Chain A
Amino acid sequence: MKFKKISKVMLAAASMLLLASCGNQQAKDDKAKMPTSYQTALKAAKGTTVTYYGFGGSETQNRWIDKVVTPMMKKKGITVKRVPMPIEDILNKLSNEKEANTKKGHMDVVWINGENFYNAKKLNLLAGPITGKQLPNMKAYISASDPDAKKDMDTAIDNLEVPYGNAQLVMVGSKKMFNNDYPTSAKQLLAWAKKNPGKLTYVAPPDFTGSAFIRNIIYETVGYQALNDAPATKAGIYKVIKPALAYLNELKPYLWQQGKNYPKSTAQMDKMFADHKIAMTFSYNQMYAATNKADGTFTNDAQTFVFDKGTVGNYNYLAIPKTSQNKAAAVVLINTMLSEKAQTDRLALKYGAVIPPYSSAKMPAKMSQKLDQIGEKNDIPMKTIAKKRVPEVSGKKIPIIEALWKEHVLNAD
């Protein structure tokens, strides 16, 4: 008897809960659907919370989201929640959600690019299409014909992600150790290393900056075109990059600890550089030396330079997972992050001075001026760096190159 009574009460409570949730169902459906225009997105998103998932190890980017983007969203009546999560975990989570066959996830906007985008697209984890129709700022500042708006590391974007930041590999050298004469080619770098053994190193792949450095060495030795044309197979790539692997092996004994060990993270490499144990570090952020000088990590001895034949550049992108419960607010957040105000503020050193993803033809005049100004703090004009930009190869090839490096350089002897 007692059991029956309890189950009756529970049933009544459950049905009441169900009724209460039905009222909200319509509004929930509205914001979970991909909005058709910015206006409908804004309307459906008002009063809601949107989540942003991405790499949380960059203090400046965290600050930019918290101090610039979040207040701008607040004015639109939307609360932003920033969650620091490495991209591997994001993809793990999204594929688990897919496997569990759930349509309800917690991620609304994710920071993604390159090989991770390739995988997410292959697994069908991302929602689309996101175009200029929902994003007025994308329409205003980014030409649809821009190579980086069409392809991300040679993977067709197909309106599944939106560029929101511009990255290019730059070298940072010690003025004192290089005697103000920087090695602007792989050849010069090798010559310097032979004269100054133990004073250079690079972060080991699969760290993505280390991986970019190795691609850059491949470009230096065999050229971008050869690698881009090579088939995405181990044998095909090995044939093409053999001279680059030979170069890295020639350099190896002159590296820090005779190339037997490599720093595991850029953080470790930066610390060694700051301590003058090594003469050079490198970064995917063009303004890296300037921001690190500003916060006291590097001294004025740190100078930015690029290779004469160019350095690899790519973009950071934002995407909306299929399981997002608030695609309306996700669209508003992406549009806000692309806005002129947010992007201009982001050029401040305290926000990492990230170069906007805007097409040069659509760049507002004020922004161009600002870019020239910050270039002065970086000892090298922004335009000079941009002119030396070479594209990335397919995201599919990157793990193959990393494996070949491991086999033929790291474990060569």
Chain B
Amino acid sequence: MKKQISTSGLGLIGCLFGLPAVVILLLAIGRHWYVPYLLPQRWDWLAIFKFWQQDSTLWPAVKASLSLGLGTVGLTLLIAYPMAIALVKYQTALKGILNVLIYAPLIIPGIALTTSLDLTFIQLHLTGTWLGVVVVQTLFCLPYAIKLLVDNLAIYQVDYEAVAQNLGASRWQSFWQITLPLSRDGLIGAVTMTLIVAMSQYLTTLLIGDGNYLTLAINMFPLIQGGRYQAAACYGVVFMATLLIPLGLFEWVLKRKVRRLAHHEL
């Protein structure tokens, strides 16, 4: 039933998403790029590696971004996945309200939320701690993660799980072998979105982290503001790599697991 997307359509999508990335790459390795010229007049192919060598803050930033990002992915899934299953599975009167409440962190202006959270977190001695930052980042990731998981689970209506349990599978078996593999696409989407949102958090990481967690976004943002586009672009390239490598790994592992489970069943 799947229709093949036309080559020109694919090309257009590729351009839309690929061009900004290409511009960032060109900004990183190009020199003397002025208006009448379409391309930089000089090239410095090793620019990113040189920058890596020169900027002693880059590697710690990669580590801080990953540690906070993965922590946020973990905490987000821990809350979002059961929440999504519950929202799909159970019919309660609160469902309508819950569906709106989920979006509250995105509806309230971010700066107001962050500044007031900062005040509360100072009182709780959570500012400047890993947990504090992960909790606040999770707050902003939950709406995306829950929405993606709910939409995915809703397709199957968890009926398969009921069928499995009717056939004698335990609750754990039906979750592990039915629900989990079926929500694969939702999980991949939720993890991807969560990691992207978490790693792009600037003000929350800065204020709640109190400067203890200098992520890629924190180092990159002032460089863009200050017009140091070349240095910012180097950060951009590293940012993309830091984001894409763990996501690729995650997708690969999850797909393999699902395939293995499918074989096992047969």
Contacts and interface: CB of A to CB of B under 8 A. Distances in A.
Is B truly associated with A? yes
B231 A100 contact: no
B97 to A, nearest CB: 31
B184 interface: no
A85 B223 contact: no
A106 B228 CA distance: 27
B203 interface: yes
Given A59-B226, A84-B214, A96-B119, 9 more contacts: A51-B211, A56-B222, A85-B211, A89-B207, A96-B118, A265-B225, A267-B225, A276-B35, A296-B31
A83 B128 CA distance: 13
Contacts of A266: 227
A271 to B, nearest CB: 7
Contacts of A29: none
A92 B207 contact: yes
A250 interface: no
B227 A84 contact: no
A247 interface: no
Report the 5 A-B pairs with minimum CB-CB distance, sorted nearest first. A267-B227, A57-B226, A83-B211, A56-B222, A275-B35
Interface in A253-295: 265-268, 270-271, 274-277
Give the size range of A's interface with the partner.
35 or more
Contacts of B128: 106
A372 interface: no
A81 interface: yes
A35 B26 CA distance: 50
Contacts of B185: none
B56 interface: yes
A156 B196 CA distance: 46
A86 B221 CA distance: 10
B22 interface: no
B57 interface: yes
Interface string B220-259: 0111111111010000000000000000000000000000
Interface of A: 51, 53, 55-59, 62, 66, 81-86, 89, 92-93, 96-97, 99-100, 102, 105-107, 265-268, 270-271, 274-277, 296
Contacts of A83: 211, 214
Interface centre among B128, B203, B211, B228 (most CB of A within 10 A): B211
A17 to B, nearest CB: 14
B123 A100 contact: yes
A83 B218 CA distance: 9
B122 A100 contact: yes
A384 to B, nearest CB: 27
A265 B210 contact: no
A84 B225 CA distance: 12
Interface string B169-202: 0000000000000000000000000000000000
Contact of B206 (A58, A89, A267, A271): A89
A57 B225 contact: yes
B212 interface: yes
Nearest to B225: A57
Contacts of A53: 211
Nearest to B35: A275
A142 B211 CA distance: 31
B32 interface: yes
B34 interface: yes
Contacts of A96: 115, 118-119, 122
Given A84-B218, A267-B225, A97 B122 contact: yes
B165 interface: no
Contacts of A97: 122
